[in-house]
Amino acid sequence: MNSPRKLVLDSWAVLALLQDEAPAADAVAGLIRQAEAGTLALHMSWINLGEAYYALRRRRGEDMAEAMVKMVARLPVRLHEADSAAVLHAARIKSEQRISYADAFAVGLAASLGGAVVTGDPEIVALAGVVAVERLERERT
């Protein structure tokens, strides 16, 4: 039996879902439905969840940030701790690419799982030749 396709959510994807940013939010919601059905596996690094937490806390306050963490915990998303191997892998990626350190954790996790990063973050999208990327779009206004 084939294992399901592995996708890594970064903070951009989670924030787009939470803030209902079309069409990205609809795409992420569709991925969640597929994960619930077992047709794909969603993953996320705690580092990227922490990045979403601090961004949301700054913009909307602690209550909203805490609610986001609880929401993600209820989703069919496997959260990965950043052990020493993940930290050094992200550090190597950061040293070689023009991305934030937090983004390097999403890229590193996707690479280690043989999966793709789900994002609309231009820094990660630019790495499509280095790591598989499933690009999300925001509606242009």
**Which CATH number fits the domain that encloses residue 54?**
3.40.50.1010
* Average pLDDT of the chain to the nearest whole number: 95
Whole-number Å distance between alpha carbons of 99 and 56: 20
Expressed as residue numbers, the domain containing 20 is 5-135
Give residue 139's pLDDT band: very low, low, confident or very high (50, 70, 90).
Answer: confident
Residue 25 has pLDDT above 90, yes or no: yes
Predicted TM-score (pTM) of this structure: 0.94
Backbone angles phi, psi at 37, to 5 degrees: -80, -5
Model confidence pLDDT, tens digit, residues 54-113: 999 999 999 999 999 999 999 999 999 999 999 999 999 999 999 999 999 999 999 999
Beta bridge partners of 79: 44
φ/ψ bin of 20: left (φ > 0), alpha (ψ from -120 to 50), beta (otherwise): left
Q: What is the pLDDT of residue 138?
A: 79
Q: What is the pLDDT of residue 140?
A: 67
Report the SS3 class of residue 79: strand
Within a domain: 47:
yes
Within a domain: 140:
no
Tally the domains of the chain: 1
Beta bridge partners of 92: none
Residue 45 has pLDDT above 70, yes or no: yes
